[in-house]
Amino acid sequence: MCPNTDTVGLHGWTAVPVDADAIFEGKPYLNEPTPVSLSDIAWPSDDPIVAKVQEYAKEKLPIETYNHSMRVFHWATIIARQQFPTHASSLSPSTLALTCLLHDIGTTPAARASTQLSFEFQGGFIALQLIQHQLGGAQSQAEAVAEAIIRHQDQGTVGTITFLGQLIQLATVYDNMSERPYLVHPQTREQVVTKFKRCGWSRCFSKSLRAELEEKPWAHTTHLGSEKFPNGVRFNKLMEEYDAWTE
């Protein structure tokens, strides 16, 4: 299938540097973040595929991972609008929502045990099968989601990645390790973590990473450091306060 110019922007296929430092030109941000009200971030609930995938995610994911996925949608939406408005103007909120809901679907014990694949690859294949083949979604959308999921931990300095993939990287590392902590205004951060509580996410995800590394010492997560990455997640100083919130 040849790329269609209409679907490249719509589903986030535009090629951008994989090196986030290059994108931000060595600065903390391109545009100074401003507060965003949650009422200004619309979840695409009117999309029937999004609605079905959301129910699937709620069924398959523990609450900690589901809330993380919803936070990632909010972080990604904010980052796209404020830092990359041209890309944001054409990106489908539904494609972004599907990617966020399913980006960690491969981390569940059942998904890990069902394959020898690293969790990102398994997650991408699950997403492709679910969106395109089970729910009848568009091929370009399903493949964009799958590619972004497969590459959402594929950080580096050489080469390119889809805009959707880079956006998910930025949003996930913000939530997991508080990299580029200035990308989201503190008032907005407070609102998002109040609505979608972390419930000890740092400990939860670090434990999941270590479980995969023990089961699959070849896992792609080793690319980020077998100790460095789980420890970076576990000792997330920016989110430490919110990890303790339960009500």
> What digits encode the pLDDT tens for the residues 175-198?
998 889 999 999 999 999 999 999
Is 238 contained in some domain? no
Q: Higher pLDDT residue, 5 or 165?
A: 165
Distance (Å) of CA 25 to CA 28, 29, 152:
9, 8, 21
Is 234 contained in some domain? no
Is 25 contained in some domain? no
CA–CA separation, 115 and 111 (whole Å): 7
Is 2 contained in some domain? no
Q: In this model, does residue 1 exceed pLDDT 60? A: no
Q: In this model, does residue 125 exceed pLDDT 50? A: yes
Q: How many other C-beta atoms are found inside a 10 Å radius of the C-beta of residue 74? A: 24
Q: In this model, does residue 247 exceed pLDDT 50? A: no
- The pLDDT assigned to 32 comes to 96
- The pLDDT assigned to 4 comes to 59
- Report the CATH number at residue 90: 1.10.3210.10
Is 235 contained in some domain? no
Tokens of 108: 């569940």
Is 38 contained in some domain? no
Residues 6+ apart with CB under 8 A from 69: 57, 61, 100, 101, 102, 103, 104
Is 119 contained in some domain? yes
Q: In this model, does residue 225 exceed pLDDT 80? A: no
Domain limits at 49? 12-17+45-196
Split into its structural domains, the chain has a count of 1
pTM for this one?
Answer: 0.94
Is 213 contained in some domain? no
Q: Higher pLDDT residue, 211 or 44?
A: 44
Mean pLDDT of the chain: 92
- The pLDDT assigned to 3 comes to 53
